[in-house]
Chain A
């Protein structure tokens, strides 16, 4: 057998292999493209949590809890009426709620879950971040942090400190509502703070919620809002 025919023979087998591979890939893609397009929507819903791909073993159902130290304002701190807001991540402690009248000081977490409610008060992520205009909605368990919430009365002062400012509210009314009634937790155009908890009930859960609505007294930002909010 000549050298040329050897080469031709080898080339023939290689080309046959490549041809068959391309043919099979083309057929596979052609056959699978329609079912894939149909299944894509469902797959994107079922496997939508992209964060877990990066940290698959972060535990706590993928919830990342972040404890922060909330710095108190220095005596010579200069304040601004409007300023820079630092938007928290879900599960991040971003404020401390204080009320002298009921000796309450509790960390506030952004978002709500059983794990976060064990650690402090939780702010609904559907409400506005402190400093923005609207309804700030915070809740906590009645047997722990908000046990004395029903003792609050009109005129009591509530302070929320963050790392970007201090926000002061005053209790304007006491409220009671069913857990199905969203009236008090809906967004609003006016600046207000809504605190609520479950109605204390012996040996069982209650469908009633009790709390207070507070009106804004002051917003004191540490940094001006020249660069806009972040």
Chain B
């Protein structure tokens, strides 16, 4: 009767613990992985975003040369792949500096001095070789070409689209919610430990049940979180992402798959621990009965 008196509270606390474990896992993965500058740097490396961005620019300027007559090398020789990588890393760095409150605004820019020199040199050489008049329209054409090229390069280098997020005010919103979120993570983790503590306290008269309740909550929370993660990863769900710019596609899909993979790993570890606890309980239970 004494045991039965604690049965319903144990069920209720286990139920709470299952969801608190799920929230804790998700919150910790989001805080330590999804909102980590290191993760973005890792995705840049893993997905070779600089290579993809450079290739995208190569295709763009080649295609553009078919209508403008300006060879792609005028642009591409002034922008090296290494510079693109630095720019992509810089966009991430700037975004996190803004999110962490180190800067008041998000700004992303690149040094286009070499590009300006290259385009100017090509136009002037063309004008001299073809007796092209260097009038106001000539200099306006140079400026238009530079503006279009710089806009395209910045768009291509901003693989994670922080500029777009900033323009729409999402980066600002994220920044304001970040401190609340970080406090929330601590509260969830403390609550998880607290509920676990109460559950253990209720099991003080039947200590052999401790691994049972811990195992049960671990297994159920693991199953509930791991199942959708495995489904998403196995079906390549993120690969149906609609934006087809290669560098943006690789950045977004690579990032989402990495985060889902990390969450999946954490939940599978919880699941394994849960199974171990249940096996332990089974052994203890068998010994007590015999």
Contact = CB atoms under 8 A, between A and B. Distances in A.
A213 B237 CA distance: 45
B240 A24 contact: no
Contacts of A6: 289
Interface residues of B, number: 44
A183 interface: no
Interface string B45-69: 0000000000000011011111111
Interface in B13-65: 14-15, 18-19, 59-60, 62-65
A35 interface: no
Interface string A132-146: 000000000111100
Given A20-B216, A24-B224, A204-B141, A56 B239 contact: yes
Contacts of B216: 16-17, 20
B145 A25 contact: no
B230 to A, nearest CB: 16
A52 B239 contact: yes
Contacts of A142: 66-67
A39 interface: no
A20 B68 contact: no
Contacts of A144: 66
A198 B223 CA distance: 59
A202 B239 contact: no
Interface in B60-119: 60, 62-70
B160 interface: no
A125 to B, nearest CB: 16
Contacts of A23: 15
A211 B81 CA distance: 39
Contact of A115 (B59, B123, B237, B240): B59
Interface stretch (A41-49, A67-75, A78-86): A41-49
A100 interface: no
B18 A20 contact: yes
A141 B220 contact: no
A118 interface: yes
Contact of B240 (A49, A63, A117): A49
B239 A203 contact: no
B261 interface: no
Contact of A10 (B66, B235, B285): B285
Contacts, number: 105
Interface residues of A, number: 44
Contacts of A47: 237-238, 240-242
Given A47-B237, A144-B66, A205-B68, A24 B244 contact: no
Interface string A44-63: 01111111110010010111
B66 to A, nearest CB: 4
A31 B100 CA distance: 32
B164 interface: no
A114 interface: yes
A198 B64 CA distance: 12
B119 to A, nearest CB: 10
A59 B237 CA distance: 17
A64 interface: no
B239 A198 contact: no
Contacts of A61: 244-246, 249
B67 A205 contact: yes
B115 to A, nearest CB: 16
Interface in B182-200: none
B66 A52 contact: no
Contacts of B220: 20-21, 24
Nearest to B239: A56
Contact of B59 (A20, A51, A114): A114
B144 to A, nearest CB: 7
A204 B145 contact: yes
Given A28-B224, A203-B123, A205-B68, A56 B63 contact: no
Interface of B: 11, 14-15, 18-19, 59-60, 62-70, 123, 126, 130, 132, 141, 144-145, 212, 216, 219-220, 223-224, 235-242, 244-246, 249, 281, 285, 289
Given A51-B240, A52-B236, A118-B62, 5 more contacts: A17-B216, A24-B224, A47-B240, A205-B67, A205-B68
11 contacts: A1-B289, A16-B216, A17-B219, A20-B220, A24-B224, A27-B19, A46-B241, A47-B238, A53-B236, A59-B246, A204-B145
Q: Which 5 A-B pairs have the closest CB atoms?
A: A61-B244, A141-B66, A56-B239, A114-B63, A47-B240
Interface of A: 1, 6, 9-10, 13, 16-17, 19-21, 23-25, 27-28, 45-53, 56, 59, 61-63, 114-115, 117-118, 141-144, 198, 201-206
